[in-house]
Amino acid sequence: MTNAASPAPPAHPVHGTFEYQPAVRWEDAFLSGNGHHGTLTFGDPYDDRVIVTHHTLVRPNGAEHARPPELAAELPALQDKLLAGEWEAAEAFTDHRPLQWVQPFHPAFQIRLTRAPSDEPRRYRHYRRSVDFATGETSAACVDVTSRLFVSRADDVIVQQVTGLDLDVSLDHRLPGAPADLAVGHGSVRTPDGALLTLRARYPDSDRAYTGVTLVVATGGRTQLIQSGVRVTGAESVLLLTRVRRHTGELDVTAEQRALGGDLPHCYDDLLDRHLPLHRAAYDRVTLDLHADPGERGLPGSELLERPRGTALLERLFAAGRYHLLSSSGLNPPRLPGLWTGDWDTAWAGAFTHDANLNLQTASATSAALPEVTDALASLIHRQFDDWRENARAVFGARGAVASAHSDGESGLTYHFSREYPLHLWTAGADWLLKPLVDHDETRGARDPRTAAALAEVARFYEDFLTRTDPGDPDDPDDPDDPDGRLVVVPSYSPENRPAGASWGALNAAMDLSAARHALLTAAAYHPDHPDHPDDPAPADRWRALADRLPPHRINADGALAEWAWPGLDDTYDHRHLSHLYGVWPLDEINPYDTPRLAAAAHRALELRGAENDSAHGHLHHALIAARLRDGHRVAHALGAVLDGDFFHASLMSAHYPRRDVYNADAAHTLPAVLIEALVQSTPHRLVLLPALPSALPTGELRGVRTRFGAELDLAWGPDGVRAVLKPHRSHRIEVRTSPGDGDGDSDAQSLDLVAGEDHVLTLGTW
């Protein structure tokens, strides 16, 4: 297609993106969502497709009946063998089931909007499609034809308006990978101002189904039912309201019709006005301005992606990342593909993967001021907590809770594991998943009782699971409770790696040690004066004592923090995961200020780590850790690997591998966290300014960032110096680190007394 006269660029190009051609591939379709429903809009005014998704849509595959393996009785024997150096012993710790994937996420159907046969052919003149991050709207315009769409946060409905065309509207389930034996039924009925279309799909060999309902409301003109759906001719505009429901048995379509037809305004702008206060308020909280060239800012997204080292691209990817993260978070946090897919064969089942991917995607939730994301994560956790308790009982014979490594959003049970991926051995997941909830509590200055209860359950698991290196003398009443006895995590698993020359199930993985220590100490902080019961008056003291008995991290012969703290378990360096550096990020256990020796060893471990298969999450995980270790050069290198690797589609959603291979939200959602960590870091008692600023970002402004000591922060930096404005919500003394970092932790430190409600301005000279 050509454009004789291209339209002017958007008024605020940083906060949206656009293209001069409709999408051909679903991966390039522009995205909208409210954390429940999602849409992928191709934007062809004369043959448009809107793929509809919903967080609840997972295909039954047997996993809906899967249970965790009953292995608790075999655990003591396994622990004895591993402690005796039988490194392959964990491979027999299984019930020998085949690998069972979680129920795969899939699209619902596509809304087809085609030109009715009576329409005159038109050329795609002055065409542009766009997405406005601040409103959540996707739009397409061509001559006198327009289409607008958003997914309402207020009313949980997909809202689309088309003007300037006679249209055939249909609901079409025929998307790539759809099962041939999917039982699909269509329906259509006239309504006073248009028509109601329904599509009901029942999964093969299952009583589970989903139903889509689209109300077509025409302003003026004529509405006619046809075999494929409905035809609208001569209308001033056409409004479409769409919802999806997953259910067992029959759905009351009449109730859905009443909800769409009677409870909602039949005006696009009125519905948008109800949606905007919820979406815009969240999106506008944080902005990044890198003072990019205005000419580059005015380019379509696909052209910006061809300039991977431009600051305009980073600005737009930062904005797009926050927009997509917000849009995919509601009922659940984002899946591997966020909230979107156009294919039933979604990679890795489109799961929630808890051993890196979900954790990285939600990394900016607190600092980038998106409590909506944290709330969505909390919703997923608390719905599944009974399953986590069952995992602890079945696999480890313990009280408390153990998170599964994968989830489909319905079940949190551990059943996805195999010899090469013994994910049932992983015990650190609950701590990692709860960490953003703890960060959120620190930011707002209040502790959520649900988080407190969850942390207590995790601490109880460690009470039962952690093992003495020396089992002790059972006939000596003092020996088993020896307060000086060193504990060991056995079995222990470092996702998704294994020691050199040994099997995957091992002892004292660095991640497990950090997670256990953090969970016990955090649970103690949340429960200082809350006994479990009168006979057990001091759980916090007990948890702190357990944390003190965990072994320290080990530094190996290469001077690197060892992935396994057990002697004889050597590192395997070329791997995409960096689980062993969990104590650096997201925890604060290892840092250049309080633990400089361990920080140096962690930095050496980062230097030795390979990229393995160049997955996006590996590069950006590397960048987050490098930022905590004040290594701006390494942050820039990791970012460059993603920006130069052709990871982003025209939609600005990302891929898992270079050259846009496998649609995946890891890079898109994690990139804002990387940029924030390079510019601002905080703990409940410390602020670090510009700890790892890449040299390619010499000037800019970051506004609205939240800190874990309860203040908002606006930061500006450039050749003339740095200016930071803190807006505290509570009075507090913090330490401020301000000088450029070179990885050795030697930065200027000063104390600052914050007063609630009073702005504090920090200015520094030439940077």
Structure confidence by residue, pLDDT tens digits, 686-723: 999 999 999 999 999 999 999 999 999 999 999 999 99
Give the predicted TM-score (pTM) of the model.
Answer: 0.94
> Taking 50 as the threshold, does the pLDDT of residue 7 lie above it?
no
Distance of CA 244 to the CA centre of its chain: 23
> Taking 60 as the threshold, does the pLDDT of residue 218 lie above it?
yes
Cβ–Cβ contacts within 10 Å for residue 481, how many?
A: 10
H/E element, 373: helix 371-383
Mean pLDDT of 279-298: 97
Cβ partners under 8 Å of residue 527, min gap 6: 452, 455, 456, 539, 540, 543
Cβ partners under 8 Å of residue 600, min gap 6: 559, 744
Residue 472 — left, alpha, or beta (φ > 0 → left; ψ -120 to 50 → alpha)? Answer: left
- Alpha-carbon span 469 to 463, nearest angstrom: 15
> Taking 70 as the threshold, does the pLDDT of residue 483 lie above it?
no
Residue 604 amino acid letter: R
Structure-block tokens of residue 213: 């309902």
**Nearest CA among 454, 460, 459, 423 for reference residue 441:** 454
Share of the chain above pLDDT 70, in %: 92
Lowest pLDDT segment from 6-10, 386-390, 657-661, 685-689: 6-10
CA distances (Å), origin 196, targets 117, 234, 246: 21, 19, 18
Cβ partners under 8 Å of residue 139, min gap 6: 43, 129, 130, 131, 132, 146, 147, 148, 149
What pLDDT score does 739 carry? 62
Residue pLDDT, tens place only, 74-84: 999 999 999 99
Residue pLDDT, tens place only, 269-287: 999 999 999 999 999 999 9
What pLDDT score does 8 carry? 42
Confidence of residue 765 (pLDDT cuts 50, 70, 90): confident
Mean pLDDT of 599-610: 96
H/E element, 217: strand 208-219
What pLDDT score does 251 carry? 75
Q: Which residue has the higher pLDDT, 194 or 51?
A: 51
Mean pLDDT of 508-533: 88
Lowest pLDDT segment from 460-474, 634-648, 704-718: 460-474
Mean pLDDT of 576-594: 96
94 φ/ψ angles, rounded to the nearest 5 degrees: -160, 160
Confidence of residue 460 (pLDDT cuts 50, 70, 90): very high
Mean pLDDT taken over the chain: 92
Residue spans per domain, the chain: 13-60+106-273
Mean pLDDT of 740-762: 79
Residue 526 amino acid letter: Y
- Is CATH 2.70.98.50 the classification given to domain 13-60+106-273? yes
What pLDDT score does 529 carry? 65
Residue pLDDT, tens place only, 100-145: 999 999 999 999 999 865 445 555 778 999 999 999 999 999 888 8
> Taking 50 as the threshold, does the pLDDT of residue 672 lie above it?
yes
Highest mean pLDDT among 169-173, 192-196, 471-475: 169-173
Structure-block tokens of residue 496: 């998704």
> Taking 70 as the threshold, does the pLDDT of residue 12 lie above it?
no
- Alpha-carbon span 482 to 477, nearest angstrom: 9
**Nearest CA among 453, 468, 464 for reference residue 393:** 464
> Taking 90 as the threshold, does the pLDDT of residue 349 lie above it?
yes
